[in-house]
Amino acid sequence: MTYSAAETDRQIGNALHVGTITAIDNATGRARVQIGDLLTPPIQIMQLRSGTIRMHWMPSLGEQVTIAAPSGDMARAFVMGSLPIDGNMVAPDEGSPTMDLGGGTLRLIGNLYIDGDVEVTGDVVASGISLVTHTHGGVIPGGANTQEPNG
pLDDT tens, position by position, for the chain (151 residues)?
898 877 777 777 678 999 999 999 999 999 999 999 999 999 999 988 888 888 878 899 999 999 999 888 888 999 998 887 766 667 777 787 778 788 888 888 899 899 999 999 999 999 999 988 888 777 777 777 777 777 6
**Phi (first) and psi of residue 80, to 5 degrees:** -90, -40
Answer whether 0.85 is exceeded by the pTM: no
- DSSP 8-state assignment for residue 10: H
| pLDDT on residue 33 | 97
| pLDDT on residue 88 | 67
Q: Give CA–CA dist 21/111, Å, rounded.
A: 34
CA angle at residue 84 from 62 to 24, to 5 degrees?
A: 30
| pLDDT on residue 151 | 66
Q: Give CA–CA dist 80/66, Å, rounded.
A: 6
Q: Which amino acid is at 82?
A: S
- Helices and strands counted in the chain (H then E): 1, 10
